Copies of this chain bind each other. A is one copy, B any other.
Amino acid sequence: MAVASATRTLTMAQAVAEAIGQEMERDPNVFVMGEDVGIYGGIFGATAGLLKRFGPERVMDTPISESAFIGAAIGAAAEGMRPIAELMFVDFFGVCMDQIYNHLAKNTYMSGGSVRLPVVVMTAIGGGYNDAAQHSQSLYATFAHLPGLKVVVPSSAYDAKGLMIQAIRDDNPVMYFFHKGIMGLPWMAYFEGSTTPVPEETYTVPFGQARVVREGTDVTLVTLSQMVHKAAIAADELSKQGINVEIIDLRTLVPLDVDAVVRSVKKTGRLLVADEDYLGFGLTGEIAALVAERLDSIRLKAPVRRLGVPGVPIPYSRPLERAAIPQAAHIAEAVRGLMAARVA
């Protein structure tokens, strides 16, 4: 349930940490595990201050043993605990994916619904600060492709808090992806729009409800996470050129708000999907397909367009990274291309 009484502004990192702290206070079953979640407060600040408040029994620094501690979250959750496990960068999923997708994601189904696993795995995504191929990926589509995991990708502090509380209270496994470049860290450039007023009270943002960030009539721009802010920059520029972009922030990929996408594309007749994950076999294809499947009721004015990292690892060097990851300028250009295009 959303609450209106926001008086303070928080960074996304602060919002995440606050959400976890409030839920830990409310529910003794909630605890946090991960590398450097204790005195360090999480490399990206998602657990800042929690060790001091809750002590090392509930804010547990782990060995570099992601399979063991994420697997332990499964076992603890089966016993009724509500663990939050931090995988420092999503790029490291390859060392612990078996526990995540063969067990955390499937035990409920394989047990015919008798096993409940209220686990949140939170993890950092995204590039933009030249951390290269093993520390800059987004990869949420990989998790959305596999069944059994809810997939949450907030773009602002307000959403980050509400979605985190929702995630912790959900009786199912949730993958929670925060983009480093919108956490509002004092040591990494970020998009101001991600730092927002955040109510002090607890509140939830429901899963499966996209947010219309900005209404428009010409083009539907489906996006999420940091790319929402690049989209906003592009939309500002485009509006000066008389092009009105409607921006949809998906907020969660599983469940996916198909209606929000369809409704908007019906209105605009044009779709651009802008993504920081790899372009092929991922999110952009899925959104494009949702529209392609509904061409009996959707009348497109232009072919669908997609932006993503096009089949290359994230390169290190600044000019290369900028070329590989879609920027606001790429979005604007793609929208202009859409306005110029026609369907056959």
Which A residues are within 8 Å of any B CB, using their own CB?
67, 91-102, 105-106, 109-110, 132-134, 141-142, 144-148, 253-254, 256, 277-278, 280-289, 291-300, 302-306, 309, 311-313, 315-316, 341-344
Please name 20 pairs of A and B residues whose Cβ atoms are closer than 8 Å in the assembled complex, sorted by A: A93-B97, A94-B94, A109-B313, A109-B315, A142-B142, A145-B281, A256-B280, A281-B283, A282-B285, A285-B285, A285-B287, A285-B289, A289-B289, A289-B306, A293-B304, A293-B305, A295-B302, A295-B304, A295-B343, A296-B342
A296 to B342, CA, bound (A): 6
Question: Number of copies of this chain in the oligomer?
Answer: 2
Identify the interface centre among A133, A306, A342: most chain B CB within 10 Å of its CB: A133
* Cβ-defined contact, A102 with B147, below 8 A: no
Does the CB pair B145–A133 fall under 8 Å?
no
Contact status B312-A147, CB under 8 Å? yes
B293 touches A303 (CB 8 A): yes
Of B93, B94, B134, B145, the residue contacting A96 (CB under 8 A) is B94
Known: A145-B142, A289-B289, A289-B306. A98 touches B98 (CB 8 A): no
Shortest distance between the CB of A170 and any CB in chain B (Å): 17
CB distance from A255 to the nearest CB of B (A): 10
CB < 8 Å neighbour of A288 from B146, B288, B309, B313: B288
